[in-house]
Amino acid sequence: MTLFAISILIFAATEMLPGDVASAVLGQGATPETLAAFRLELGLDRPAYIRYLEWFTGVLQGDLGVSLTNKRDILESIAPRFGNTMFLAGFAALIAVPVSVGLGILAAINEGKWIDRVANIVSLATISVPEFFIAYVLILYFAVKHRWFPSLATVFPDMAFSTKLYVTALPAITLTLLVTAHMLRMTRSSVLAIMSQPYIEMAFLKGLPRARVIMRHALPNAAAPIIAVIALNLAYLIVGVVVIEVVFVYPGMGQYMVDGVTKRDLPVVQACGLVFASAFIILNTIADILGILVNPRLRKRNTGH
């Protein structure tokens, strides 16, 4: 039901885009008769609700449609680009998740100390800066000034894995900086929120050190919100990668979607939007399930005990 509602929103939003693919392909010099004939050929003359029903019916059957600009099957075009996006998101997640959770726990253990202050200042600064600005700063410093990494993340299907890691290092670092700040702050806040509970105070009264109390007693009960924010940020790594892919000219789904918007290729934009929405819904569902599994109180509530 959620995906159905999202599909309607995606279709309606793309329909409201100014211009159409006929004008984008034929150019400003095309005559009204030529534009009308081309729209008729593409089926753009039919009512929007009919085109939506045909599109969504095809999606349910695994058919994402055909690109209006090059007549290529969209699913075949998306598949390798989706793989590239998942590679970049996975690369960033492997760095961001352990670093952010580890630093968040460390900041909670050292609440009020210099480690906690530095973590808060750096994370707040990272959140406040636009992602494209971080990307351009990294390109300027690491690619232009020192030439440690390439400024363009161009990958190929037969590229060696080590080379692919090297080429995608800068966009992965950019994404890592963006999501680490959110996950770090949420991890710290979740752990500290549990610290005021009576059983935590009892553990302190028994003389247990702060680090042990957090790791053994607070962290398991703070795991559910931490997992939720990790899932949201992993979804962002996939959905919000659009800007980063454009900056680094990375051949992923984000770049493909932007190209579709530029050319007013609505089936491409709609297919990409639906794939992104599906990934977001799946990751949030997984987060809810994991949150129940790792939280003893939620498990007891669901089993009726």
**Sign of the C-alpha dihedral, residues 209, 211, 212, 213?**
positive
- Phi-psi label, residue 30: left if phi above 0, alpha if psi -120 to 50, beta otherwise: beta
Euclidean distance between CA atoms 74 and 66, whole angstroms:
5
CB 101 within 8 A of CB 299: no
Half-sphere exposure of residue 288, counting CA atoms within 13 Å on the CB side? 7
Summarize the confidence of residues 91-99 as an average pLDDT: 87
* Angle made by CA atoms 34, 39, 42, in degrees to the nearest 5: 130
Residue 20: both structure tokens together? 């159409």
Query: What pTM was computed for the model?
Result: 0.76
Domains and their CATH numbers in the chain:
2-60 (no CATH), 79-303 (1.10.3720.10)
Give burial (CB, 10 Å; 0-12/13-18/19+) of 25.
Answer: middle
Q: What's the pLDDT band for 229 if we cut at 50, 70, 90?
A: confident
Beta bridge partners of 54: none
Residue 21: pLDDT band with limits 50, 70, 90: low
pLDDT over 70 (residue 24) = no
Going by pLDDT thresholds of 50, 70 and 90, the confidence category of residue 266 is confident
